[in-house]
Amino acid sequence: MRAKSDHASGGSAAAASAASPPSEFDSIDPILQLLRFLPYGFLRPPRLRLKLPSSLALPSPMTVFCLVLLTYFAVVSGLVYDVIVEPPGIGSTQDRSTGAVRPVVFLPGRVNGQYIIEGLSSGFMFVLGGVGLILMDLALDRNRARSVRISFASFGISAIVIAYAMSMLFIRIKIPGYLW
Environment class of 30 (CB within 10 Å of its CB; exposed 0-12, middle 13-18, buried 19+): exposed
Work out how close the CB of 101 gets to another protein at its nearest, in angstroms, rounded to a whole number: 20
Map the footprint of another protein across residues 99-118, applying CB under 8 A.
111-114, 118
* Position 57 contacts another protein (CB under 8 A): no
56/100 with CB nearer another protein: 56
Task: Give the closest residue to 89 by CA, choosing from 97, 78, 100.
Answer: 78
Q: Which residues pair with 174 in a beta bridge?
A: none
Cα separation of 124 and 77, whole Å? 8
Work out how close the CB of 17 gets to another protein at its nearest, in angstroms, rounded to a whole number: 8
Cα separation of 62 and 84, whole Å? 32
Per-residue b/e over 61-99, b at no fewer than 16 CB within 10 Å?
A: eeeeeeeeeeeebeebbbbebbeeeebeeebeeeeeeee
* Position 70 contacts another protein (CB under 8 A): no
Cα separation of 105 and 103, whole Å? 6
Q: How many residues bind another protein (CB under 8 A)?
A: 80
Work out how close the CB of 54 gets to another protein at its nearest, in angstroms, rounded to a whole number: 16
Map the footprint of another protein across residues 126-165, applying CB under 8 A.
126-127, 129-134, 136-137, 139-140, 142, 146, 149-150, 153, 157, 160, 163-164
* Position 33 contacts another protein (CB under 8 A): no
* Position 28 contacts another protein (CB under 8 A): no
Which member of 12, 26, 30, 64 binds another protein (CB under 8 A)?
64
Which member of 19, 41, 45, 100 binds another protein (CB under 8 A)?
45
